[in-house]
Structure 1
Amino acid sequence: MGLAVRLRELGAEVRVCAPPDEEFVELLAGVGVPLVTIGQPWRSLVRPSSAADASHAVAEMMATQFETIAAAAEGCDLLVAAGMVLFVAPSVAEKLGIRYAYVSFCPIGLPSPHHPPWPWGRPSPRGVTDNRTLWRLEARTYDAMFGEPINTHRASVGLPPVDKIRDHVLTDRPWLAADPILGPWRETADLDVVQTGAWILPDERPLPADLVAFLDVGAPPVYVGFGSMRAPRGIAAVAIEAIRAQGHRVLVGRGWAGLAPVDDAEDCFVVGEVNQQALFRRVAAVVHHGGAGTLTTAARAGAPQVVVPLATDQPYWAGRVADLGIGAAHAGPTPTAESLSAALRAALDPETRTRATAVAGTIRTDGAAWAARLLLDAAD
């Protein structure tokens, strides 16, 4: 959304392909950006139970994406891809004869000798610790999982087959939409990475009146929410107990996990979709999953953080929070009241707040505008 709005301000026509989740539809409608829905709602996806099921799901997903994205990109000059559409977007761009850019929102999504691949939900091979070896093995996984469906669809539209699937989809000049302080890229001879800073869209929505009333009647609460993640069972009760143990009120973000309070006590309030840019400036700390967006928003607000990493890039972001001294990283995805209390004590230390405030002043806010200008220059 941030990139789309900045592109439009520079005179470009923009359309976005995204799953038809209600939140995505409403948010894009709110800024007047046309949405082309693709596939089934992201919220309803079920993790495959076997390798065969995963391969079948990938093939079905690609078939839908090829058709939808090719139609949406007709007449366009640029195709920018992130997330799961990266497997079909370069072929669509090649067929249409337009430029293509791949964007990662986290440094560890890009090959580098300085870090291992993210785990994709599977353990690293036993005894293998060399990062270059791990990335070579990951490239083979790309070939095994995505090579056949990609080349099947390429053949159906008259394109030649490709090998080295990972290199094909990421390109040798990928973009990194992460803040250079929060997620720095270490230069490598393997890739020419364009780091733009995070793509932030200023949120002007007012906070709901009942939420403002809750914030106004007492000391700043601790926010806990896990965004679009399916959080571990019982985590809301654990978090509420840990927050109360530190003497703080509780603000529960419902999210896709459907977090809910454990009682009717007045020290606990539940919110749904909300302007986190405004909200996080009024909380004592933010307990979250470590998604790039939530982490960047909390960092910009100067709010100390506790990251409970659940998947993919989230352990990396948890480590960055700890390394920067702006919060604490919980060890693993299933906290107890005791382990989360310990992390909260560290995050609520006055020195952590001081450090978080200092780092907040260094976060770039022009990443989307800069990326938009670079893209239009490339199109020209």
Structure 2
Amino acid sequence: MAEILLLPFGSAGDVFPFIWLGRQLKARGHRVRLITACLFEENVRNAGLEFIALGKAEDFEAMIHDPRIWQAGTGTKLVFDFAAKSVEPYLTAIESCGHVDLMLAPMTAFAARLAREKHGIPLITVHLQPAVFMSVHETPLLHPALRWLRRMPVWFKRLLFALPNPVDFFALPKVRRICMANGVKPPRSLWRDWWDSPDGVLVLFPEWFAKPQPDWPVNLLQWTFPLEDLAKEQALKPELQAFLAAAERVVVFTPGSANVQASRFFAVAAKAVEQIGCRAVFVTREPKQVPANLPANILTVDFAPFSTLLQHATAFVHHGGIGTMSQGFAAGVPQLIMAMAHDQPDNADRLERLGAGIGLSVRQFTPERVTAALSRLLNERGFHDSAAFCQGEFAEQPDVNVLMRWIEERAAKDGLI
């Protein structure tokens, strides 16, 4: 048995894949402890995993309540600022665990890499979305205004990417100070030196969504979408079950589990539903964002496992988070994305290239545009055929034992497994 730490960083779409990993590792007899924001304690414990709180609950809540978190560029800065501030609490939590054989963490959990350098604990970097790979071959679309960059020659992109990376401006100074305080040589660049662990890189999205590129890390294993949504622990609420059983399929709307700035999203959604005349389910943990006095054809719920809910859906409208979008693929439902920041523009672009949906920017997300886009998704056969193709890609799931053995080999150097 190995002592394994999982260190997700972010919202539900970032945490749930690590819960999935934890379930698999625990089933193989390992002790698994998960360190993340207090918000997810119940989810982690209900999945049968040990939980260690990261920092204070109000710190994470303050970040997601900052409206700038959903602005392109500014939102990324806030995330990396918060990631840098979280290094010391993360490191304290790691060191409180005693002996650790292996860590799995995203690149934003800088403390995991610090613990690797300080204590020699093997680390697997886990990437959940292709936008983290600044490839000169298939360059991610981090902002709609950067489409021109994809058309540039490889030599030009190599020169451009050799310039200082914004993440180093946002987070590196604080990380350097913490490194020096812990007797660890600071990285010259977080992006170039600490982005991918030398011990292994795990990619949790399939090749049909993003093919590996020549400049991706060599010590990499590409898997598929985990599709963890806690459906094992949470059934649909009776009110929702009754609503879904009453008539035809619904359009599902969600701005993301961490989005508490979504009043406009739901106002636009309500007008589009009225124009189309369909039934809809609004999913948000902040129901006060939803317009008052909604008609009977719209039901609001605070949570529903998408793997269950989307079985009753005819279209899926959301923010473009990778976990949310993967559930739409698995359900074979055409999708409409309002891409705001982070990896969302790139995810929306990949959705469109697959032909399984439409991407809109925040500015484009108006009642008229959403009504027109939804009408296309509901009525044009091409979207349904492409969505069905994506769903078919889930028919043959890879053997999870292969993944588990690969993970275990990262900790086997000391004869622990």
Q: TM-score, normalised by structure 2?
A: 0.80
Question: Which of 333, 336, 341 is the matching residue for 1:303?
Answer: 333
Map of 2:11 onto structure 1? none
In structure 1, what is the Cα distance between the partners aligned to 2:226 and 2:277? 35
CA shift digits 1:338-362 (9 cap, x unpaired): 0111211221125122331232021
SS of equivalent residue, structure 1 residue 329: strand
Question: Which of 94, 100, 104 is the matching residue for 2:117?
Answer: 94
CA shift digits 1:265-290 (9 cap, x unpaired): 21110111211111001111110000
Question: Which of 282, 285, 307 is the matching residue for 1:255?
Answer: 285
Residues 237/109 of structure 1: CA separation in 2 closer, same or farther (3 Å cut): same
- Note the aligned Cα RMSD (angstroms): 3.1
Map of 2:4 onto structure 1? none
CA shift digits 1:21-68 (9 cap, x unpaired): 1xx112111111111111233333145999999997665332222222
- Aligned pairs for 1:49-64 (under 5 A) are 59-64=84-89
Structure 1 residue 333 displacement after superposition: 5.1
Residues 117/320 of structure 1: CA separation in 2 closer, same or farther (3 Å cut): closer
Structure 1 residue 94 displacement after superposition: 2.1
Structure 1 residue 369 displacement after superposition: 5.5
- Aligned pairs for 1:192-211 (under 5 A) are 192=218, 193-201=220-228, 203-204=231-232, 205-211=234-240
Residues 55/9 of structure 1: CA separation in 2 closer, same or farther (3 Å cut): closer
In structure 2, what is the Cα distance between the partners aligned to 1:84 and 1:240? 36
SS of equivalent residue, structure 1 residue 112: coil
Structure 1 residue 302 displacement after superposition: 1.0
CA shift digits 1:214-270 (9 cap, x unpaired): 011111111111112244542212111112322211111123585424424211101
Letter in 2 for 1:271: V
Letter in 2 for 1:315: P
Number of aligned pairs? 373
Map of 2:210 onto structure 1? 184
- Aligned pairs for 1:1-380 (under 5 A) are 1-21=19-39, 24-41=40-57, 42-45=60-63, 46=66, 47=68, 59-72=84-97, 74-82=98-106, 84-85=108-109, 87-116=110-139, 119=142, 130-137=156-163, 139-171=164-196, 173-181=200-208, 183-189=209-215, 191-192=217-218, 193-201=220-228, 203-204=231-232, 205-227=234-256, 228-256=258-286, 258-332=288-362, 335-351=365-381, 352-363=383-394, 365-366=397-398, 370-380=402-412
CA shift digits 1:167-213 (9 cap, x unpaired): 322226532111322x3133214522321112233723321111111
Q: What are structure 2's unaligned runs of at least 5 residues?
A: 1-18, 413-417
In structure 2, what is the Cα distance between the partners aligned to 1:295 and 1:379? 32
Q: TM-score, normalised by structure 1?
A: 0.87
In structure 2, what is the Cα distance between the partners aligned to 1:257 and 1:292? 23
Give the conservation status (yes or no) of the 8 Å contact 1:115–1:131.
no
Structure 1 residue 118 displacement after superposition: 5.9
Q: Which runs of 4+ in 1 moved over 6 A?
A: 48-56, 121-124
CA shift digits 1:107-130 (9 cap, x unpaired): 1202311244664x8987x99954
Residues 256/262 of structure 1: CA separation in 2 closer, same or farther (3 Å cut): closer
Give the conservation status (yes or no) of the 8 Å contact 2:128–2:322.
yes
Percent of residue pairs bearing the same amino acid type: 22
Residues 36/134 of structure 1: CA separation in 2 closer, same or farther (3 Å cut): farther
Letter in 2 for 1:377: E
